[in-house]
Amino acid sequence: MSGEEANGKPVGAPPTSPTGRILPADSYTSTDPSKPVKLRITKEGLASLDPLSVPDLMNRTVRDHPDHPAMVYQDSQKKWQTVTYREYRERVYHMAKVFVKLGLEPHHTVAVLAFNSPEWFVSELAAIHAGGIITGVYTTNSAESVQHVLESSRAQIVVVDDAKQMEKVHSIRANLPLLKAVIQTMPPYAPYVKRDDGYYRWSELVEMNVDDVEEEFNNRLANIAINQCCCLVYTSGTVGNPKGVMLSHDSLTWDSYSIGKRLYQIRYAEEVLVSFLPLSHVAAQMVDIFLTLQFACTVYFADKDAMKGTLLNTLQEAKPTRMLAVPRVYEKIQEKMLSVGAQSTALRKMVAGWAKSVTLQHHLNAMEGKPTNSWQYRLVRNYLLSKVKDALGFSRCLTLATAAAPMDRETKKYFMSLDLPINEAFGMSESSGAHSLTAPDSYNFDTIGKALAGCETKIDKPDERGHGEICMRGRHILMGYIGEEAKTQDAVDEDGWLHSGDVGYIDDAGFIYITGRIKELIITAGGENIPPVHVENLVKNELPFVSNAFLVGDKRKFLTMLITLKTQMNLDTGAPKDELTPDTITALKEFGAEYSKLSEIHAAGPCPKVLKAIQEGIDRANLKAISNAQKIQKFALLKEDFSVPGGELGPTLKVKRNIVAEKNKEIIEKFY
């Protein structure tokens, strides 16, 4: 494509002048995707930087690093293929013209219902270059949920990856009068996938002649405004339908730069990342697509089974320099490492224990401002832990970050003992991703870090301890929720502060701490406010074979808990299996309980030995409770673990508390 000429100009060549402009606006918020907003640009500091459109960001990166690898993926023969930044832009320009030709209008949406792939990235940037809006839809969504997103976002084009997702869209297409085209990226194709009926194969669109829309495409580029919506991220809300968060060009290009500047020693055209978290989630949007475009990173794509065990293969191939994951991914790595370690000889265990304690102490000293570089630490780092990092694919990883849910302190300590400290990022869809991030020079186990440069934080309605609702303001804050004026006003106050719904405080050094969520706080019948995650983690730390510990007690006289054990997972569906994990089997043997299946434990009564082991763990956790009101009085062992298909977990594996409570209401009522 790059060699062809259109109107005397190479296809994929950038426009001669910057595409982004700023339109006049009278408000910082909007619920209309065509309406511009004011930008919160300051007189100095990072928030004073000139605004940049997404096409201008792409042009700058292609200008500076045209032949640098942008994307690396496995083709249908499982061979690794590379796309340079110049080729990336050519693909984006071509597909943007295809979208125009298929009927995408300005300020309307291209929705993607697919696992991460080069086609996802190209679709996103093509939609934006064509003057449209991109949105992602979780592949785990039902057809009904998909319809809500497509209607709300005013989607005119949908891109899916496989026949399963295509069938969802096909089943609801009659209900979507705005939808003009559905595109499938991978075979096999259902018989109804015919272009005459508005169903297309990606491969045929790559070959489509788009000369006739060249002028219209250039007009669209010229009319792009930096302060208009270009991206919709749907909140995976636990109550009601998800809301569409409108993000502007400026929010995405500015926040991605601010995040990068917080990362330790970030370098242009030298960073490597692996894309596997759902791109319908804001964290993956911001890091995988915009941070990488901002700093000319190389992105490797994991395969569809990444979260089911194949991620390690991609990490070993890519050797990423930065890694973003949700806590559950790190917990799975930790479980695997502990399982392997348990098979070691006594001598190896002793050496590994010494190495980890030396390394953990080195980092604990650094956190207290007492940097150490002892010969023991240098020996461990260079000769012992380097092999561990190699095996995990982290041999050159400078930043491991976690987002989307709180991470347990013990997991952080474990990775720190491997010389792999994990940085905690905090943000939400409404803040374009990150608002704060810990860093090697500003770290402790309990903080979510200091606010990124140019981002403001305040505590609303603080109590006598300084605890209150965490609020955020800056260029990264959403424009509004599409078509939802009242909800937008609830979220962003008249002074521009986004109310997070998280309770916390800021210490004298500027570190932000979260102590709970307003909606998730358990308020007992006695009026005690209890953050459930803290109590749940105390129990999980005592009982490593427990997968989920779910605290109950809102408006009740005392606290109770639902417990699930770690079982194996069906790799095709993500559903929990009856078979216990090898670690669980081993752990239960120590209590004289020899079982291989969860159903066997329940058939035995449930087994008194297993119940006794759980009770003893809860008793130990209760010793660490802040008050008597925070002690667990009763528990029940559930018959299967939480999962995405079961509805208890959201797409980023966060527990949906209302669903769990509803599904187990009979068990809960028996407690009281």
Residue 670's pLDDT band (boundaries 50, 70, 90)?
A: very high
CA–CA separation, 377 and 419 (whole Å): 10
User: Structure tokens of 238?
Assistant: 């636990």
584 near 565, Cβ under 8 Å?
yes
**pLDDT tens column, 321-341:** 999 998 888 988 988 888 888
For residue 12, the model assigns a pLDDT of 46
195 near 204, Cβ under 8 Å?
yes
| Alpha helices (runs of H) in 368-407, residue ranges in sequence order | 375-379, 386-392
CB atoms within 10 A of CB 164: 10
Determine the average pLDDT of the residues in 46-59.
96
CA–CA separation, 438 and 422 (whole Å): 9
The CATH code that applies to domain 54-69+85-224+263-267+275-294 is 3.40.50.980
Spell out the residues 6+ positions from residue 216 whose beta carbon is closer than 8 angstroms to its own: 100
Q: Which residue has the tokens 């096409």?
A: 55
**pLDDT tens column, 443-491:** 788 899 999 999 999 999 998 889 999 999 999 999 999 999 999 999 9
Strands (E), 420-467: 422-428, 433-437, 450-451, 456-460
Task: Return the percentage of the chain with pLDDT > 70, whole number.
Answer: 96
Q: Cα 205 from chain centroid?
A: 30
Determine the average pLDDT of the residues in 163-174.
97
- First-last CA distance in the chain: 69
DSSP 386: H
Determine the average pLDDT of the residues in 627-631.
87
Question: Cα angle vertex 625, ends 335, 541, to 5°?
Answer: 5
The b-or-e profile of 582-608 (16+ CB within 10 A means b, else e) is ebbbebbeebebebeebeebbeeebbe
For residue 633, the model assigns a pLDDT of 96
Q: Where are the domains of the chain?
A: 54-69+85-224+263-267+275-294, 326-420, 421-517, 522-671
What pTM was computed for the model? 0.86
For residue 628, the model assigns a pLDDT of 86
232 near 247, Cβ under 8 Å?
yes
Spell out the residues 6+ positions from residue 207 whose beta carbon is closer than 8 angstroms to its own: none
| Alpha helices (runs of H) in 163-213, residue ranges in sequence order | 163-172, 202-206
Determine the average pLDDT of the residues in 60-76.
97
CB atoms within 10 A of CB 443: 19
CA–CA separation, 197 and 434 (whole Å): 42
Question: Cα angle vertex 51, ends 480, 137, to 5°?
Answer: 40
DSSP 492: B
**pLDDT tens column, 223-278:** 999 999 999 999 865 556 889 999 999 999 999 999 999 999 999 999 999 999 99
The CATH code that applies to domain 421-517 is 2.30.38.10
Phi, psi angle pair for 505, to nearest 5° = -155, 165
Residue 14's pLDDT band (boundaries 50, 70, 90)?
A: very low
Strands 456-460 and 468-473, sheet pairing: antiparallel
User: Structure tokens of 51?
Assistant: 């605004």
**pLDDT tens column, 109-161:** 999 999 999 999 999 999 999 999 999 999 988 899 999 999 999 999 999 99
CA–CA separation, 289 and 61 (whole Å): 13
Average pLDDT, the chain: 92
Q: Which sign does the torsion angle of CA 657, 658, 663, 666 carry? A: positive
Paired strand residues for 472? 457, 498
For residue 15, the model assigns a pLDDT of 43
pLDDT at 441 over 90: no
> Which residue type sits at 182?
V
pLDDT at 568 over 60: yes
CA–CA separation, 664 and 562 (whole Å): 9
Name the class of domain 522-671: alpha beta
For residue 5, the model assigns a pLDDT of 35
Task: Return the percentage of the chain with pLDDT > 90, whole number.
Answer: 78
